Amino acid sequence: MLSLNSLRIICTSRGLQPSNWLMTNRQCLSKAVTYATKCNSTPFSKEDMRHSKVNFRRGREVIYKTGVNSLRNYCTAQVKLNCWNCKQALDKAPAFFCMSCKVVQPPDEEVSHFQIMDCDHSFTLDTQKLQRRYVQLQRSLHPDNFSQKTVKEQEYSENQSALVNTAYKTLLKPLSRGLYMLELEGMHIEEGADSGADAEFLMELMEINEVLDEAQTPEEANKIGQNTKVKLTDLTKQIDAALRKGELQAAKALLAQMKYFANIEEKVKEKLSELM
């Protein structure tokens, strides 16, 4: 179990920036401190203390290897949540249902969309697995299943179902998935900004839009659509490579380009509906 001294060691460890970490992980730190305070007020046997030290060393090794995200997961993993109904400890996060009394639980706002959908934290995640997970969760969490339950259970099912919907829609498409991954790293592409796009790129986009506006047949619109898909496929590969290397600024610039081409793809669909 974490002690207050252990928390100090985490915050001052090499490879981390304490000020940034504290700003972005206030909730995690607060919960961990609360948990540690409870631990300090409870007597432990020597065997308990030995296991605590071993577990902390293992957690610290993970932090050194994988950085702040692991620290965030490590902290939340130490704060055990209990079922609101039967008070039994919940064995995993996110916990949609209590394994003891089977009652639906309130959503955990601290877990990521990747954790909710049980997907790899990757830009090239398995979308078929994502879809299967979505169907599975909605079958069990849909509010219609709780119409005869208590008001609290109905509320929790609605909140859980909405959160699952948000996670699914965010991770389903490469653009929203990539933007979300950047948000997890504290980066954001502002709406309406050109995000540093150069004049040549913007000129290319203007030409594509002009050709699309002047398209008179479905074949002409489809040709633009196919070219756009090729662009998006190439951008997907580049973004994945950048994220894997931790080149966040490069990924941000590429995602900005993807936003433009995704917009063109939507315009192609609208044009085709007009021409059909």
Residues 209 and 231 in one domain: yes
Residues 17 and 72 in one domain: yes
In whole angstroms, what is the distance from residue 104 CA to residue 243 CA? 36
143: CATH: 1.10.287.110
Q: By the 8 A CB rule, do 171 and 180 touch?
A: yes
Residues with Cβ < 8 Å from 80, sequence gap 6 or more?
Answer: 35, 89, 90
Expressed as residue numbers, the domain containing 223 is 199-275
Q: What is the pLDDT of residue 47?
A: 41
The per-residue pLDDT string of the chain (276 residues; one tens digit each, 9 = 90 and over) reads 444 444 444 444 444 344 443 344 444 434 443 434 434 434 444 444 444 433 433 343 333 334 444 444 444 444 568 999 999 999 888 999 999 999 999 999 889 999 999 999 999 999 999 999 999 999 999 999 999 999 999 999 999 999 999 999 999 999 999 999 999 999 987 665 555 678 899 999 999 999 999 999 999 999 999 999 999 999 999 999 999 999 999 999 999 999 999 999 999 999 999 998
Asked whether residue 115 is assigned to any structural domain, the reply reads: yes
Residues 94 and 69 in one domain: no
Longest dimension (CA), the chain: 81
Q: What is the pLDDT of residue 188?
A: 80
In whole angstroms, what is the distance from residue 258 CA to residue 267 CA? 14
In whole angstroms, what is the distance from residue 229 CA to residue 220 CA? 15
Give the domain-ending residue among 47, 78, 109.
Answer: 78
Q: Tokens 């506006």 label which residue?
A: 213
Inter-CA distances, 276 with 72, 221, 265, Å = 51, 11, 17
